[in-house]
Amino acid sequence: MPILEIKNLEVRFPMRGGELIAIRDISFSIDRGERLGIVGESGAGKSVAAFAILRLIGRPGYISGGQILFEGNDLARLSPEQLRQFRGNQITMIFQDPMMTLNPVLTIGTQMIECLQTHRGMGRKQARKVAVEKLRRVAIPSPEARIDQYPHELSGGMRQRVVIAIALLTDPAIIIADEPTTALDVTIQAEIMELLLALCETHQVALILITHDLGVVSEITQRAIVMYAGRIVEEGPTRDIIERARHPYTHGLIDALPERTHPGQRLNQIPGSMPSLVDIPPGCAFHPRCEHVTDLCQTRVPGYTLLDHARVACHWVAAQEQS
């Protein structure tokens, strides 16, 4: 029984002279305590999909179709006040850049305590205790002192720890993490990722991890989704995707990993670049860059071919499976 189920989600942005479809036909689900990765290049729509779950897409974007079922509630249809009960409570988020995420003029404590006051109805003192406790969980030294500091007094890594602590405050069922380490120093990235993994495991929290880094996905997640030009092109167990990718695009991504290249050799690249959402090619959006392209690919959008624990949107894979 999945805890969160997304069905046919579509997000549009009205533009001058028409609407732009940022993501279309996005369906996936996540079980209690499961860790799911969403991978793709920038512009693939993975962040839009992540933010759409809590209806936090920036203006003028809006959800134009689909359902977001969390424990039987369709988040896409709740009133703003009802939705607010879920945000930061059962579903929390970790943003990309910790330098921008925390309010610069409020203390860490204020920004933590307010969550507990809002969602748990706690008094200040009790909330503060819980906040200090969570700061300790994310390995912030001397949390009793840090809690009264302002964000600018903390380093980037420390700030992201604070953001993670905020995400854990209300013991959520799901944490959505949008590229939680890309803005950080390379040396700290692994530390933060490990912390996040450990916390999710001990607290039995489901994690939706948005990243462009396949390496991170393979270390952290159990299942992965690959997105291209606003659609899901492949989904399956992370191990399978890394070792036996079926979609030519996923193949290309994995081949491009530096580990897949021998020293001295040039990095493998997928030729071309991802189309902008304004002019997505007809048929399969990946066809101009695909080595297995056929006539069918240029005219018809591929449906999903279901495999054992996976699905792939590719005519070429479908043809292989049939034969």
Partner 1 sequence: MIAFFIRRIGQAMIVMFVISLIAFSIQDNLGDPLRELVGQSVSEAERQVLRDEMGLNDPFLVQYWRFLKRAVKGDLGNSYFFKRPALEVILEKLPATVELVMGATLIILLFSIPIGVYCAINPRSWLTKLMMGTSIIGISIPVFLTAILLIYLFSIELGWFPSFGRGETTVLFGGWHTGLLTRDGLMHLILPSIALSSIMLPLFIRLIRSEMMEVLEQEYIRFAWAKGLTRKRIWFLHALKNTLLPVITVGGVQIGTMIAYTILTETVFQWPGMGFLFLEAVNRVDTPLIIAYLIVVGLIFVITNTLVDLIYGLVNPTVKLTGGAA
Is residue 54 at the binding interface for partner 1, with CB under 8 A as the rule? yes
Whole-number minimum distance, CB 170 to partner 1, in Å?
A: 9
Residue 63 or 284 having the CB closest to partner 1: 63
* Cβ(127)–Cβ(195) below 8 Å: no
311-313 and 304-306: which strand pairing? antiparallel
- Counting residues that bind partner 1 (by CB under 8 A) gives 29
Contacts of 55 (CB under 8 A, 6+ apart): 63, 75, 76, 83
Contacts of 24 (CB under 8 A, 6+ apart): 10, 230, 231
290 is a site residue for partner 1 (CB under 8 A): no
**Nearest approach, Cβ of 3 to partner 1 (angstroms)?**
18
Cα–Cα separations (whole angstroms), residue 223 to 206, 240, 311: 12, 9, 12
Whether the Cβ atoms of residue 196 and residue 168 lie closer than 8 Å to each other: no
9 vs 177 by CB, closer to partner 1: 177
Interacting residue with partner 1 among 23, 113, 138, 166 (CB under 8 A):
166
> Between 93 and 112, how does the x/- string for binding to partner 1 read (CB under 8 A)?
x-x-x--xxxxxxxx-----
Question: What 3-state DSSP class applies to 36?
Answer: strand
Verify binding: residue 134, partner 1, rule CB under 8 A.
no
Letters for 65-94 (x = contact with partner 1 by CB under 8 A, - = none) are -------------------xxxxxx--xx-
Residue 23 φ/ψ, nearest 5 degrees: -135, 145
Distance between CA atoms of 278 and 134, rounded to whole angstroms?
Answer: 44
119 binds partner 1, rule: CB under 8 A: yes
Nearer to partner 1, 205 or 290 (CB): 205
Name which position in 32, 77, 124, 152 contacts partner 1 (CB under 8 A).
Answer: 152
Which parts of 194-253 interact with partner 1 (CB under 8 A)?
Answer: none
- Work out whether 160 is an interface residue with partner 1 (CB under 8 A): no
Q: Which is nearer to partner 1, 58 or 72 (CB)?
A: 58
Of 105 and 186, the one with the shorter C-beta distance to partner 1 is 105
Helix 156-168 / helix 108-120 crossing angle, nearest 10 deg: 10
| Degrees, nearest 5: CA angle 132-88-148 | 30
Number of other CB atoms surrounding residue 187 within 10 Å? 8
Length of the chain: 323
Which is closer to partner 1, CB of 92 or CB of 238? 92
Question: Binding to partner 1 by residue 161, rule CB under 8 A?
Answer: no
Complex with partner 1: residue 11 or 314, whichever CB lies closer: 11
Asked if 35 touches partner 1 (CB under 8 A), the answer is no
Nearest approach, Cβ of residue 100 and partner 1 (Å): 4
Task: In whole angstroms, give the CA distance from residue 44 to residue 87.
Answer: 24
Rounded Cα distance between 238 and 245, Å, is 10
DSSP label at residue 280: P
Q: Does 171 bind partner 1 (CB under 8 A)?
A: no
How many Cα atoms are found within 13 Å in the side-chain-facing hemisphere of 96?
Answer: 13
Residue closer to partner 1 (CB basis): 154 or 229: 154
Cα-based distances in Å from 227 to 113, 142, 159, 175, 236: 36, 41, 29, 20, 12
Site of interaction with partner 1 (CB under 8 A): 54, 56, 58, 84-89, 92-93, 95, 97, 100-107, 114-115, 118-119, 150, 152, 163, 166
